[in-house]
Structures are given as structure tokens and as C-alpha cells.
Amino acid sequence: MNTDVSFSTPNLVEEADDALACRNSDGGYRMIDYYVENRREEPFTLVEPPNRKTLTRTESIASLKKSRTSLEQVQTKIGEQIHQEPNRLNAILASDRDRYGFRKANHYVKLEDYNGWWIEYAPYLARRKKKWAKLMAKNGLLVTKNGSPTRFPPRSEELRRYVRKGIPAEWRGNAWFFFARGHDKLKDNKGVYDKLVEETMDMINENTEAIEKDLHRTFPENVHFNNITQQGTDQESALLQTLRRVLKCFSKYKPTIGYCQSLNFIAGLLLIFLDEERAFWMLVIITERYLPGIHEFNLEGVNVHQGVLMLCLRQYLPNVWSLMHETSHSNNNSFLYELPTLSFCTTSWFMSIFVGVMPIETTLRVWDCLFYEDSKAIFQVSLAIFKILEPQMLELGSIRSDDDGILSAELFQLIQNSPKRLLNANVLMQECFRFSSFSKLSQEEVQNCKKYVVESRTRYNELIKRRSAVGMDEQERRELMKSAVLPENKQIGLKSMNWNGRLNNRMRRIQQRIR
């Protein structure tokens, strides 16, 4: 063993060993607590990334100015591309790129499939654009030929329908910002972003190290994110430099989140549609209001949202649910603590808000709805995906890889890969909001479910802590889970929703069938 190697963080081994010890005696939740409690305050030394010159402060500021100017140029260019007149949308057919600079074809979507779909989708976009223009005019909002409106009509049934059918791409950034009440956020925080940029300019810590690891892995196939090769050397694109700033500022502004993988994708997509400062505030709004807890250190928010999705599946797609839940979970709600294996596939649906999960045009349609309708849209989209896959799932459902009730490999692949081929966003949206039992799912129901899941999980974790999971066998653990289950008819629970009366009856029937 070569003992000469010096590690940059010599205490890491001991530290993490302690953390492991915590975890072992405590059922798996303490390690993260340990890191949160002990790591944040400590200075974090790290290996200087290779080939990166350390800039002086003046150089940094100069390069910042330069990169902001070039960002404006890039965004004008993107704007122009997105903004192509509907009758010129055919230009996309000839290109290997879409309007946003992404490659049209990939492992899942063939070029001819994309073009076949685009031939129908482009005229649809043109039609929708005209309708939007009329709606704006009706509301006395002027739209200049090449400009994008910054104000949109007040909320209404009609507007919601329009949003569900897709916001014109060239208006998207402004519309998202408007619907998410970004202006208020910006007004309350004048100058904050610029100050953050200043403060984080020379910041190096574990977050910035993690950001550097992911920066060049964000949309590497997109022309705007690609490194520019000039005279044989790679130069970082303006958008990548901006993305670094936004993520660094965010990690400083939200220390309970810092940098979490998947934020790079969210921020990256925002930057295609919004300028730097507004993209930053949208990222803040998303993590505060739309997806609270999802990106926090212990990722507990992911588990909570997954729990809500499971409750929704059980309610609205009982056939799918009967494939999903492991047999041992059939009698109570213990799937809320020990999530079904299905949740392996759906983690990224919440964390990246479908970026990389579905084709980009489809993802953008989901984002339109998210910012107008709140997080319930994510659950409706998830349910719609499962509903679309239901026939294939049921076909595969009879094949179980083994009898401990774990889903077969084929099912996992279906759930993971099929959404990547979902080019036709209209089909998905219609499943979400028109044809399905869950089309009327309200934000209030989702909030109630969330509350129920949070309380149940907290209760379970407390019980586990008190009893100490050491030496507990499988049987005991199951008993503990059962005793942690909150009755659903508690006021905050699901019973308060009228659909849950139906849910309970239906569940009882399903359970009887299983038994």
C-alpha cells in the first residue's frame, strides 16, 4: 500500500466511519442528519480541479461582465430561433436540432418519428399562437410582432385551458415568471442576486465542487451548452458560465439545499427561456413553493411526494396499483414508510420535473401547467403516464421476477423508457385533464395527502428511533409499521376528501381479492 498518497481531507475516513456508526444503530436516517449537523460549518478542503486557472478578482469581474454580455447574445439567438414564424417552422424539419438547440433524434426517438410528429405539431403551434394573440387582445394586452408580453390575463377557466394546450414557446419564460408571481419575488429582493454573484465569485466549498462535476454534464448535446471550440481549445459557453453562477448563488442563498443534482437540469432549462436573474428567482420559487423539500439534504421531500403518488395510484389506477405494491404491503399503509420498488423509477420525475424523463417539448408542456396550476399537475402527469402504460403493464404484470413481489425487469424498463418516447404532448395532456378520473384532482387534495404522508412518516421514524432498530427482525419491523399507521379517517387524513370514501371501499374490495 502506497502510504505517500496524501488525501485532501484526511479526517474524512474517521468522520464518515462515525457517521456510519450512527446510521447502523438508527435505521438509516442518521447519516444525513450527521452530515447536516456536522459538515455545514466546517471548512471543506478540496482538490483544485485540474486545468482551471484561478482568476484574480478583477479578472473575475471582467470575465463576469463579458459572459453576461455574451449570454444576452445567446439568449437573443435562442429567442430568434424559438420565435420563428409558424410558417417557417418547417426549417426545423431540415435541421437535426429542435427549436431549443437539442438534438431531435436520440436512443429512443428516431429522426423520422420526430419529423413525422413535427409535421402535425407545427401547424398546431401556429393555430394556438393565433388564439393566444386573440385572447391577449381581448384582455387589452398588446403583443408586438416580435416581442413577448410580460403581463398575462387574469386567471380564468379559459386561460387555464389555453395553458393546458401549451403556451407559445417564445412567450414561455415571461409567462412562467408571471404565473409563478416572480415579479413579487423580484420586487422584494431588489439587488439581492447581484450581491450574491459578488459574494460567491471566489467561493469554493463542497457545493461548488459538486456543481463543477455536473456543469459540463448538463445538456451536453445542446448547442447552447456545448463548449465552443476556438482555435483548437475548448471554451466554456456563455450559458454554462451563467449556469455556474446561478447554481453557486442558489447554493449560498438556500443553505438547506446547497447544490443537489437535478437542479442543474432545472436551472439549465430555465436559462433557455429566462434571463439569469429571473431564472435564479424561478429556481428559488420552484424549490420553495412548487416542490418544497424535494432537494433538501435528506431528500425526505422526495419520499413524501412519492408517498402521495402511491396514494393517488391506489385511488385512481387500482389495476396499476395492484401490480405495484408488494404483497406484504397490502394490509396497511406501510408503503408510505417503505416505498414500493416502483418508486426507484419515479424519483427523477419529481427531482428533475421530467427533464430527461420525457422529450423536451412534452416536458415544457408539463412545466406550463405546473406554473399555472401548482404541483398537482406533476401528480396528474405521473398518473397519466401510468394510465397510458396500463395495458402494457397489465400484460407484463403476470410475469414477476420472483415471488418476493418485486417487479419484473420488464416492468421497470417499461416505466423508465416509455415516457422517453412520449412525443405527443397533446395525448398526455388530454389524459391528464380531460379523459381521466384524476382530471379533477385538486391542489387541496394533494396538500391533504402530503400532510397525511408527512405525519405518518414522522410518526414511524419516531417510533423507530425510540425502539432502536437494532436487532429488530423483519416480523417486528412490520408490526411496528402497522402500529405507526395513522387512521385515514383522521380529520387531516384522506377521509375528509369525498373521493376517499370511494377509495376505501375500492381498496377493501381489492384487498379481499388479494387475500
Partner 1 sequence: MSKQTSVKLVLLGEAAVGKSSLVLRFVSNDFQENKEPTIGAAFLTQRCTIGTKTIKFEIWDTAGQERFANLAPLYYRNAQAALVVYDITKPASFIKARHWVKELHEQASKNIVIALVGNKYDLLVDPETGDEIEGRRSVSVEEGQALADEEGLLFFETSAKSALNVNEVFTAIGKQIPEEAAKPADQPSSSGRIDLNAPTDETGAIGNCAC
By the criterion CB under 8 A, which residues form the site for partner 1?
Answer: 1-2, 5, 7-9, 12-13, 16-17, 20, 24, 28-29, 31-32, 35, 46-47, 210, 213-214, 216-220, 260-262, 264-265, 297-299, 302, 339, 341, 344-348, 351-352, 356, 401-404, 406, 409, 412-413, 416, 473-474
Cβ closest to partner 1, residue 287 vs residue 448: 287
**Least distance CB 202 / partner 1 (angstroms):** 22
Of residues 114, 448, 74, 464, the one with CA closest to residue 272: 74
Give the three-state DSSP class for 358.
strand
**Least distance CB 406 / partner 1 (angstroms):** 7
**Least distance CB 43 / partner 1 (angstroms):** 15
- Long-range residue pairs from 436-442, CB within 8 A, at least 24 positions apart, any chain: 436/316, 436/380, 436/383, 436/384, 436/387, 437/316, 438/312, 438/315, 438/316, 438/379, 438/380, 438/383, 438/384, 439/380, 441/312, 441/316, 441/376, 441/379, 441/380, 441/383, 442/376
* Whole-angstrom distance, CA of residue 306 vs CA of residue 344: 10
**Least distance CB 230 / partner 1 (angstroms):** 18
**Least distance CB 403 / partner 1 (angstroms):** 5
Contact 122, 89 (CB under 8 A): yes
* Whole-angstrom distance, CA of residue 342 vs CA of residue 307: 11
**Least distance CB 2 / partner 1 (angstroms):** 4
**Least distance CB 175 / partner 1 (angstroms):** 26
User: At residue 355, what are phi and psi to the nearest 5 degrees?
Assistant: -65, 125
Cβ closest to partner 1, residue 408 vs residue 430: 408
* Whole-angstrom distance, CA of residue 74 vs CA of residue 51: 25
Cβ closest to partner 1, residue 140 vs residue 220: 220
Contact 290, 282 (CB under 8 A): no
Cβ closest to partner 1, residue 317 vs residue 351: 351
**Least distance CB 416 / partner 1 (angstroms):** 6
Nine cell digits for residue 124 = 398546431
| DSSP classification of residue 97 | B
Cβ closest to partner 1, residue 117 vs residue 297: 297
* Whole-angstrom distance, CA of residue 120 vs CA of residue 69: 37
**Least distance CB 23 / partner 1 (angstroms):** 8
Cβ closest to partner 1, residue 208 vs residue 315: 208
Cβ closest to partner 1, residue 62 vs residue 399: 399
Nine cell digits for residue 10 = 484526511
Cβ closest to partner 1, residue 7 vs residue 435: 7
Contact 225, 234 (CB under 8 A): no
Cβ closest to partner 1, residue 47 vs residue 94: 47
Please give the span between the terminal C-alpha atoms of the chain, in angstroms, as a whole number: 58
